[in-house]
Amino acid sequence: MEYIDLYSRDGALLRRHVPRDASRAPGECYRHVHVLLFDRAGNCLLQLRSMKKKFFPGEWGVTGGGVQSGETSREAGVREVREELGLTVPEDALRLIGSRLDETVGGALLDVYAVRLDFSESDCRLLDGEVDAVRLLPYGEFVEMVCQRQDAVYRGILEKAGKIMLPEKNYTDLNAETIGSWVRSGWEWGRPVDHETCERARAGEWSVLLSPTIPVPKDWFGELRGKKLLGLASGGGQQMPLFAIAGADCTLLDYCPEQLESDQMVAEREGLTLNIVRGDMTRRLPFEDASFDIIFHPVSNCYIEDVQHVWNECFRVLRPGGRLLAGLDNGMNFVFDEEGVLRHRLPYNPLKDPALLEESLKKGEGVQFSHGIEEQIGGQLKAGFRLLDLYSDIDPFGWSQKYNLPAYWVTLAEKEVNSEE
């Protein structure tokens, strides 16, 4: 039998516990918890209460439930998320947004927590008899759905959660703006190829980079003519036009408009066809399963927090036998400054360090992240790829060149023909 602790209306513990369904004297309350689950894109999860539930069956609502005797509301939040959705939430990740006395559920002291997780609807394992379905909604829609039978106090708590959990701009938007400013200032990786380079490519003389100094071996590509090739975060007008000249059917996805404009300019100048898509690689890629033969991914996932998502999406959109060519920052650029002086310890993640975030934005560096070998190469293996080849490269400036220490890895991986989707 499940027991609950009793409290006074002002939150004082009465040091008495009773069965959950037992009657309570006037003024006696129990503690209840709600957990707002945000995904990486800022959507929030709604769950459909089972028709078997005693209270509010068949209604969409927030994850949560009653706090059991002897546990804290934070512990209850962790338990409810695990039991109802099969998701694991670290207890210290739950952020208390607000509390209130809720008369709609029988006089409960309600604590509302919020947490951001890397998850999707398909990751949820629903508990039979508790939850029948889940939906991820943009936060504004979520609030309107939840507040249909709630008062202004509860709406205020949810609106506060949005202000706390959702930045005015997503960090990927900040990075797109930052890179755009670099391009306008003449950034090396935003300068498109000239007509003479394209003419040499038409004669079969071309090379491309996944890292700063070493051209990618041509045998990594195989025959390009007729291949469907995705340039993932590969804008700037430097690679995709050359692949198109070599006969590939090219699609470019990048989130920086200035980088896309460079490719569009070269395509129009050279009479090339490129499918150009503005897209954020932290989200599901806007392509069907098994759409491409090759993915070309220059150093760029240092601008996103979750690398595993990218590797999973690459595996999904590649055909069996398809190849992933990736340039990878190994993290050392975040440790040293250009003079070789130690700057920061790893991992480097401004989203978890407000002072570091402020420093990065003031310096015009955007929001960048270090990723170790477990994420960069191990993550490809975890997604299902087979590693075929790799090499390292230096940064041509500063400490890396001075000491001939690699700052980048470049990998060639394959989705095996017998890979299960």
DSSP 3-state of 113: strand
Distance of CA 275 to the CA centre of its chain: 24
- Whose structure tokens read 């947004």? 97
Tell me phi and psi for residue 249, to 5 degrees. -90, 105
Question: How much of the chain exceeds pLDDT 90, in percent?
Answer: 62
CA distance 36 to 95: 10
Q: Are the C-beta atoms of residues 206 and 200 closer than 8 Å to each other?
A: yes
Residues of the chain falling short of pLDDT 50: 421
For the chain, the first-to-last Cα distance in angstroms comes to 44
The CA-CA-CA angle for residues 206, 391, 382, to 5°, reads: 110
d(CA 100, CA 420): 49
CA distance 66 to 29: 11
pLDDT digits (tens, 9 = 90+) for 121-151: 889 998 888 899 999 988 888 888 888 767 7
Q: What is the pLDDT of residue 393?
A: 96
Closest CA to 190 of 204, 179, 199: 179
DSSP 17-49: EEETTS---TT-BEEEEEEEEE-TTSEEEEEEE
d(CA 352, CA 326): 26
d(CA 216, CA 245) in angstroms, rounded, equals: 17
Nearest residue to 246 via CA among 218, 277, 216, 276? 218
Query: Quick one: residue 359, left, alpha or beta (phi over 0 = left, psi -120 to 50 = alpha)?
Result: alpha
The gap from C-alpha 343 to its chain's centroid, in whole angstroms, comes to 26
Element at 75 (helix H, strand E): helix 73-85
**Spatial distance between the Cα atoms of 250 and 242, rounded to a whole number of angstroms:** 10
Cβ neighbours for 55, distance < 8 A, ≥ 6 positions apart: 105
pLDDT digits (tens, 9 = 90+) for 368-385: 999 999 999 999 999 999
Nearest-angstrom CA–CA distance, 405 and 85: 46
| Cβ neighbours around 307 below 10 Å, total | 23
pLDDT of residue 151: 77
d(CA 230, CA 244): 11
Crossing angle of helices 257-270/195-202, nearest 10°? Answer: 60
At CA 285, angle to CA 114 and CA 86, rounded to 5? 40
